[in-house]
Amino acid sequence: MELVLAAAIGILAASGTWLLLRPRTFQVIIGLTLISYAVNLFIFSIGGLRTGADPVLHHAAGDIAQYADPLPQALVLTAIVIGFATTALFLVVLLTSRGLTGNDHVDGEDGTP
């Protein structure tokens, strides 16, 4: 399971980085989205991987080792929300830029000084 997750994170991050370096806005935003998936999965995995473990305590007694670390899950939730909002904002700016400059370059070739 570790290998599959690590490969998934790596492939997402690599594709995201490549897309981020492309000259057009649409590629950049897809790249940012892929990187944010990779980062979210990464945060999710730092508490250690385990199957079927519960993050919420059922019983007052019991071994804490049986439970998953709830903090990374809380962190990833916050990161997803913030990432989603900023990506949406970026999309709006992207569309505005397309409207104002008439093209979709982010490599400085959009004709503005």
Of 60 and 88, nearer to another protein (C-beta) is 88
Q: Residue 21 gets which letter from DSSP?
A: T
Q: Would you state the structure tokens that stand for residue 107, as one six-digit string? A: 């490599």
CA distance 95 to 14: 26
Decide if residue 57 touches another protein (CB under 8 A): no
Decide if residue 101 touches another protein (CB under 8 A): yes
Of 48 and 62, nearer to another protein (C-beta) is 48
Whether 64 and 78 have beta carbons less than 8 Å apart is answered as no
Of 54 and 107, nearer to another protein (C-beta) is 107
